[in-house]
Amino acid sequence: MTDTSQHDPLRITFFGDSICVGQGVSIYNGWVTRVAGCLERIAESHNREIVVTNASVNGNTTRQALERMPYDVQSHGVDILIVQFGMNDCNYWQTDRGLPRVSPAGFAANLAEIIDRGRAFGAKRIFLHNNHPTTRDRDPFPGTSKTYEDSNREYNAIVRRVGAEAPRDVVFIDIETSFKDIAGGDSEKLASLLLADGLHLSRKGHDIYFDVVADKIERCAAEALEAAV
């Protein structure tokens, strides 16, 4: 899968927003930190080094992510890249007069460029996630009839489409469907997976992310280390 030398560290970068940062929970309960711990154990079992970087920033849109990608990803190089954006792109600010922070077309193009740039700087496997559902489904955005959750679903569908159209080195993980399978139509159960803001993940929500993505990323890392021997 990768041409990484057995003497080089395997470079794994999480590139996202507050969902990857783990806003609102203790750092050791965040899904990214827990996945990093599993990767460390894989590194030890293979007598190799894995360098895990969480290059995620609270509040970031894909537009902002592209601006910082040259330093946060490109300058370090990357073998496996995990990409998760959308919850800020789909938001509407009152000052934008009924326009989203990033348009649907712009969001799709930005994701495609993030993938292209990751690949150009070494990524042999790119994981692309959409986002979990929220409980922000009542109050419409200023100047629109659309709620936050309406917009979140629209942008999740865009991520799904970008993943379907991407080459085989891009692995799409459908976080939205995984949450719906667990919560069903139970709004109280969904709320238990989120913080009081109805958007960010509770510890239980982080548990679901970990359960959905950890094994896939771990297998990919193990395959890359074994291929380099």
Is residue 69 included in any domain, yes or no?
Answer: yes
Is residue 4 included in any domain, yes or no?
Answer: no
Q: What is the mean pLDDT of residues 12-24?
A: 98
Q: How far apart are CA 116 and CA 123, in angstroms?
A: 9
229 has a pLDDT exceeding 90: no
Is residue 3 included in any domain, yes or no?
Answer: no
113 has a pLDDT exceeding 70: yes
Is residue 71 included in any domain, yes or no?
Answer: yes
Is residue 2 included in any domain, yes or no?
Answer: no
- Counted residue by residue, the chain has a size of 229
Q: What is the mean pLDDT of residues 77-99?
A: 96
Region class of 97: left (phi > 0), else alpha (psi between -120 and 50), else beta: left
Is residue 99 included in any domain, yes or no?
Answer: yes
pTM of this prediction exceeds 0.75: yes
42: CATH: 3.40.50.1110
Q: 171 falls in which pLDDT band (50, 70, 90)?
A: very high
Is residue 129 included in any domain, yes or no?
Answer: yes
Q: What is the mean pLDDT of residues 132-146?
A: 95
Share of the chain above pLDDT 70, in %: 97
C-alpha distance across the termini of the chain, in Å: 12
pLDDT at site 185:
87
Q: How far apart are CA 95 and CA 74, in angstroms?
A: 33
Q: Which of 168, 188, 90, 74 is nearest to 130 (CA)?
A: 90
Structure tokens at 204: 């239980």
Q: How far apart are CA 58 and CA 107, in angstroms?
A: 17
Domain of 81, in residue numbers: 10-227
Report the amino acid identity of residue 86. G
117: exposed, middle or buried (Cβ count in 10 Å: 0-12, 13-18, 19+): middle
Report the amino acid identity of residue 196. A
Overall domain count for the chain: 1
Distances in Å between the Cα of 219 and the Cα atoms of 37, 145, 171 are: 14, 43, 13
